[in-house]
Structure 1
Amino acid sequence: MSAPSVPDLLCPHCHEALHFTPASSADPGTAPASLRCSKGHHFDAARQGYFNFLVGKGTVFEADSAPMVAARYDFLASGHYDPLADAVADAVAPALTAGSPLILDAGTGTGHYLRRVLDRFAPAAGLRALAMDISKFAVRRAARLNPEAVNVVSDIWQPLPVADGTVDAIMVVFAPRNVAGFARALRPGGLLVVVTPRPGHLAEIAAATGMLGIEPGKEERLATQMGTHFRTSHVQDLDVAMELGTAQVADLAFMGPAGHHLDRAALAEKLAARTGSAGTTPVTAQFRITTFVPLPA
């Protein structure tokens, strides 16, 4: 593993600067790459290339399981959400034009959306990337997909492990939002890009698959939540029409919060009976991509 390209990582224990030590060339398995602070806290890289920053009490949120992450990987690999990946890359682009910009992917999942950003900007801009997710199963996938990023298992509700004002862009795709933490981490003029579902998102299959519905007033609550530290600079609504087979519908249902309580085999059987000879189901994804900028200090 090469040295991470993010120089401003902070220790999740004491918030002192972390320094990278490469793996032993003689025996990497015995002496893996590590991050250490001046107070002696250290974090060894897992063999898949990520770091585990989970410390303290933990979060109330349940991390995605291995089967949920596998479903997400399979669905995103099908390309159906590629228009969303392109739109997110477009949204963060204005913040990634100078120097060696740093992007934080908060709730990176399998790293799919960050991969699109890295492919577009990294070669020209010297882009540095930090990817975080609370699911170790997700971060394992992300580390394989995006080895040039620093991938960490971390609780987004804990203090973000980056120095104040060092991040140029933050992307949050269907993930929790630590508003105060994001505002602290972003440089003045940095961008926060948030993707949320709109009412009607996946409505054709939501009830049949047991997916969680969009709560009334969710958009208003988002505006109130973000308004404490940010102002809205741009809003884009994106509709993606899809024709999905039974396995893809099951993946789509299982990769989200409903996956914590769904029985995959029973769901697949139910969907097969529902689809019948038609083979595919028309489904429309309805996204809102909102770009925020920090309020003046």
Structure 2
Amino acid sequence: MLQDIVEYLVCPHCREPLGYTPDGGALRCADGHSFDIARQGYASLLPGDAHTGTGDTAAMVAARDAFLGSGHYAPIASALAAAVPGHVDCVVDLGAGTGHYLAAVLDSRPSARGIALDISKFALRRAARAHSRLGAVVCDAWRPLPLRDGSADVVLNVFAPRNGAEIRRVLRPGGTLLVVSPTPRHLEPLVRELGLLGVDDRKDERLAAALGPHLDAAGSSEHTFPLLLDHQAVRTVVGMGPSAWHTDPTALAARIDALPEPVPVTASITLSVFTRTGEPRAAHG
């Protein structure tokens, strides 16, 4: 619920703390900036000039909810929960989508509260209902996050954009960042057979460049597991990811229909761990 996490929130305009208005229908700072709370329970803390066109669409969110709700990526949720330190008070999921992974972490940490951050209001309508100790906030990962300094014990980042400087700022000293990213084997043979977007060979290099100046790498592990997907599950896993923006629907449907059913598919991700220790380093290059 939003009231569980309001103490961590700051105004995106003036960075002052936020609190509830007397009627409970909005958040407001001491400078008078006010932000309505949607009836679905989330708040939008986007500044007025923010561009929201890059968020996941309602169709993409529905596909993600269906696929994750079927348990196909349960090993990823379990790996994340196992990697979270034993006692945490606040877990932030940057690019939380429907809140699926954050809810799994909160289930494993009964004293923790969770903050789901995403630019898609369609996703956060679902995230706001994903767990009783979760609050959902619309924001832009590439702008200053509407969180106070050092508010998070853990930040999750699952198949999502990552702003190293802001992640460092909102992590407490000694805090942990957990990043899930696909390996080149992820979703084969679908990537090859359906012409989906693949993982480029420099992904690990780009991850290190984005986070290395701000956080210390503390290890990584690969998690690979088999999936057996019917055609509807194939449609949802394609529809929930970036390939949904880049494939022709008619051609894609024909390719899916031509696949055997069920389709053996490989899921393969890297779980990378970073910690906030010491001072940030200057970027090289």
Q: With structure 1 as the length reference, what TM-score do the two structures score?
A: 0.88
CA–CA distance in structure 2, aligned partners of residues 264 and 69 of structure 1: 17
Q: Any residues of structure 2 matched to 1:95-106 within 5 Å, and which? A: 96-97=86-87, 101-106=89-94
**Which residue of structure 1 lines up, in the alignment, with residue 268 of structure 2?**
286
1:29-72 Cα distance to aligned partner (Å, 9 max, x none): xxx53211000011111010000112144358711111111111
Letter in 1 for 2:102: L
CA–CA distance in structure 2, aligned partners of residues 90 and 59 of structure 1: 36
CA–CA distance in structure 2, aligned partners of residues 135 and 196 of structure 1: 20
In the TM superposition, residue 234 of structure 1 has moved relative to its aligned partner by 2.0
SS of the equivalent of 1:242 reads strand
Residues 2 and 41 in structure 2, CA contact (< 8 A), matched pair in contact too: no
Residues 81 and 240 in structure 1, CA contact (< 8 A), matched pair in contact too: no
Q: Is the counterpart of residue 114 in structure 1 residue 117 in structure 2? A: no
**Which residue of structure 1 lines up, in the alignment, with residue 283 of structure 2?**
none
Residues 104 and 131 in structure 1, CA contact (< 8 A), matched pair in contact too: yes
SS of the equivalent of 2:8 reads coil
Q: Is the counterpart of residue 239 in structure 1 residue 204 in structure 2? A: no
In the TM superposition, residue 270 of structure 1 has moved relative to its aligned partner by 2.7
**Which residue of structure 2 lines up, in the alignment, with residue 154 of structure 1?**
139
Letter in 1 for 2:18: L
1:259-295 Cα distance to aligned partner (Å, 9 max, x none): 12335565334312232xxx20100011000010113
Letter in 1 for 2:87: T
Within the candidate set 158, 161, 174, 2:159 is matched to 174
CA–CA distance in structure 2, aligned partners of residues 90 and 51 of structure 1: 30
In the TM superposition, residue 2 of structure 1 has moved relative to its aligned partner by 6.8
1:212-249 Cα distance to aligned partner (Å, 9 max, x none): 11112110121122110111112110002011001111
> Can you give the 5+ residue segments of structure 1 that lack an aligned partner in the other structure?
25-31
Q: Structure 1 residue runs of 4+, over 6 Å off? A: none
Residues 3 and 21 in structure 1, CA contact (< 8 A), matched pair in contact too: no
**Which residue of structure 1 lines up, in the alignment, with residue 31 of structure 2?**
39
Q: Is the counterpart of residue 250 in structure 1 residue 235 in structure 2? A: yes
Q: Any residues of structure 2 matched to 1:4-153 within 5 Å, and which? A: 4-21=4-21, 24=23, 33-59=25-51, 62-92=54-84, 94=85, 96-97=86-87, 101-122=89-110, 125=111, 127-153=112-138
Letter in 1 for 2:235: A
Q: Any residues of structure 2 matched to 1:155-234 within 5 Å, and which? A: 155-234=140-219
Within the candidate set 257, 278, 283, 1:272 is matched to 257
Task: Give % identity.
Answer: 45
Q: Relative to structure 1, is the Cα distance of residues 54 and 84 closer, same or farther in structure 2, using a 3 angstrom cutoff?
A: same
**Which residue of structure 2 lines up, in the alignment, with residue 29 of structure 1?**
none
CA–CA distance in structure 1, aligned partners of residues 194 and 177 of structure 2: 32
Residues 239 and 284 in structure 1, CA contact (< 8 A), matched pair in contact too: yes
Residues 243 and 281 in structure 1, CA contact (< 8 A), matched pair in contact too: yes
Residues 174 and 277 in structure 2, CA contact (< 8 A), matched pair in contact too: no
SS of the equivalent of 2:7 reads coil
Letter in 1 for 2:106: L
In the TM superposition, residue 21 of structure 1 has moved relative to its aligned partner by 3.6
Residues 59 and 157 in structure 1, CA contact (< 8 A), matched pair in contact too: no
> Can you give the 5+ residue segments of structure 2 that lack an aligned partner in the other structure?
280-285
Q: Relative to structure 1, is the Cα distance of residues 54 and 221 closer, same or farther in structure 2, using a 3 angstrom cutoff?
A: same
Residues 183 and 199 in structure 2, CA contact (< 8 A), matched pair in contact too: yes
Cα RMSD (Å): 1.8
Range with bigger deviation, 107-116 or 55-64: 55-64
